[in-house]
Amino acid sequence: MYRQVLAFAFLAGLLLPHTASSQMTEGVASEHVRIRLPYERISLGRDIIAEVERCYLFMNRSTGGSLPRRILIVADWETETITINPRTATITIGMRNPLASGNVRRYLSHHAAREMARLGLLHLSGGSQREDTRFLFEGMSELLAHEFEHSTRGLEAAWLISQYLDKMQLLGLTPQRSWSTFTTGSQSLRNAAPGITFLTTIREAYGRDKAIKLFQSFKRYNSLLQSLTSTFRVPLPELEEMWINRVREYRAPEEIVIRAEDVPQLSKSSFTQGEPGDSIQIRLLFRDRTEDLLPDGVYVQDERTGKVWPVQHATEDGTAYVVATIPLDPDSPHGRYRYLVTAIDEEGNLRQWSSHYRIGPEQHP
């Protein structure tokens, strides 16, 4: 009977690859990092372990020696989410995320770097990633990850995103202190952009050490505003104005190419004709090889009014696209008007296109 059960268990292991794929190994390790991942992915762990160890040393220095002596990174193909347990020094990276499909190694390496930075910041700040400080954790984690990867050019797009957020009245200490209102809680370049530009501004003005002291102050104060006042010793309106002016004055490029083969392409655009007092819908269909262009990364600027509009995800006949809705004032004059489309993917590739929409009937000569 025992042999029959054993044989059945062996056959079940052969016939159920999903079960087998969930078996994890911790056989990939360096001095400070262990990587747990499925047995069939062990070669991936071996490929990146030396880089991850170097990253650990960089992040530990950058966060004032705040990282635990040893950390565990779990690459989990059963989930999409990314989580951190500071108590056990465990980082779980969900590899079922669609963004991982373009380049698994790059996705795992980058998110390991970003979350090691976050883990160091959490220990530095006494676990003070709160509603009002979350945007700074997002920004600093991305800054440090890109600095380690020598890929800070990918952060240039954060300045243009911040400029658009400013035009949409979504940039400033007040909107950023309400993380759950500003964002649905997801991690993206759009959501990290305010923190990236704020921290870059204060680093330039006060030095890198001041940014670290700001995170340390979170342990002492339950308010971001108190921490800012204590750390920088300047009136908060002055500090905020310095940041906003730096964003507005930044000359963002019209195109950023990190990897030419990954740059998003606009395949098709169309609009629904509108009348004054109504609205116009602009539909955009993109081709994105790495599938890391999120709706958060697409903006439409109406050059008639200068206003910037976000897009929403939509589908029709099984085809996914995004749509921007531009409201028209009752006194909007008839005519043909230009709009600018900006697409920024999660790697920081940036492209822009322009086209036209029409208010009222088309005029024939």
Helices (H) and strands (E) in the chain, counts: 12, 13
Report d(CA 347, CA 353) in Å as an integer: 19
Its pTM stands at: 0.90
The stretch 101-128 carries a mean pLDDT of 95
On the question of pLDDT at 273 being above 80, the answer is: yes
| Domain formed by 20-249, architecture | Orthogonal Bundle (1.10)
pLDDT digits (tens, 9 = 90+) for 175-199: 999 999 999 778 899 999 999 999 9
| pLDDT at residue number 248 | 98
Q: Is the pLDDT of residue 4 over 80?
A: no
- Statement: residue 57 has pLDDT above 90: yes
List where CATH 1.10.390.10 sits in the chain: 20-249
Mean pLDDT value across residues 279-287: 95
The 3-state DSSP class for residue 328 equals coil
- What pLDDT shows up at residue 2? 35
Buried-exposed string 311-329: b where 16+ CB fall within 10 A, e elsewhere: beeeeeeeeebbbbebebe
Domain 260-359: which topology?
A: Immunoglobulin-like (2.60.40)
Q: Where in the chain is the domain with CATH 2.60.40.3340?
A: 260-359
Averaged pLDDT, 195-205: 98
Tokens of 65: 């020696």
